[in-house]
A and B are shown apart, each in its own frame.
Chain A
Amino acid sequence: QQPVQSPQAVILREGEDAVINCSSSKALYSVHWYRQKHGEAPVFLMILLKGGEQKGHEKISASFNEKKQQSSLYLTASQLSYSGTYFCGTETNSGYALNFGKGTSLLVTP
């Protein structure tokens, strides 16, 4: 049930773009994205409900293809503050707990 994230790790220079993918073998109700910095708790970024809506704010956005049970997180013009581990969490039924992927480590360098 654990979603699969790719890539496992990404190294970027400031200003570059990145895409992180998340896929599930089960039908999904929603997909969540979180960012965790070293030694800190995960922080909620956004949620996508089935319907394929693309959501986001500023330079971080995401999409959800419910037919393929896949979601992608788009980070454009990356900043140093984007560094951290990104987790997708998938919900198969409304009201039930998220299953998280193993995470994608993102490092943005000057």
Chain B
Amino acid sequence: DSGVTQTPKHLITATGQRVTLRCSPRSGDLSVYWYQQSLDQGLQFLIQYYNGEERAKGNILERFSAQQFPDLHSELNLSSLELGDSALYFCASSERGQGGSYGYTFGSGTRLTVV
């Protein structure tokens, strides 16, 4: 157990639907990151939160949104799903804040299959 908890582990849904992925960071970590992993693109950065505030956005589609709650858990919402959204979605956390650089701890991921 890495300390980062992601639920659910697997999700199968139809095109056009909406799903929510959940992430609880490692205890004490204030930063949460979401990444999408597909076979041909590697790990694509989606969005970063630090202590409840959005810090940076990557290649996140307008159909996707996220938030970090006061207890620091985060949710990634994916709507109007398309076949191409099928991928492994990872959440990671770190101590990273205003300065310094720390390694990420990844959750076990949510495998999303859109049919």
Contact = CB atoms under 8 A, between A and B. Distances in A.
Interface string B87-107: 000100000111111111111
A81 B41 CA distance: 25
Interface string A70-110: 00000000000000000101010011111111110000000
Interface residues of A, number: 26
Given A95-B55, A98-B45, A100-B42, A47 B100 contact: no
A43 B4 CA distance: 12
Contact of B42 (A29, A30, A40, A102): A102
B74 interface: no
Contacts of A34: 104
A94 B56 CA distance: 12
B100 A102 contact: no
Interface residue tally of chain B, by bracket?
A: 20 to 34
A91 B93 CA distance: 15
B90 A94 contact: no
B45 A41 contact: no
A21 B43 CA distance: 17
B58 interface: yes
A96 B55 contact: yes
Contacts of A52: none
Interface in B15-61: 33, 35, 41-45, 48, 50, 55-56, 58
Contacts of A32: 101, 103-104
Given A96-B55, A103-B42, A47 B103 contact: yes
Interface of B: 2, 33, 35, 41-45, 48, 50, 55-56, 58, 90, 96-109
The 3 closest A-B pairs by CB, nearest first: A44-B103, A41-B106, A100-B43
29 contacts: A29-B101, A30-B101, A40-B108, A41-B90, A41-B106, A42-B90, A42-B104, A44-B104, A47-B102, A47-B103, A87-B43, A89-B43, A89-B104, A94-B98, A94-B99, A94-B100, A94-B101, A95-B96, A95-B97, A95-B100, A95-B101, A96-B56, A97-B45, A97-B56, A98-B33, A100-B42, A100-B43, A100-B44, A103-B43
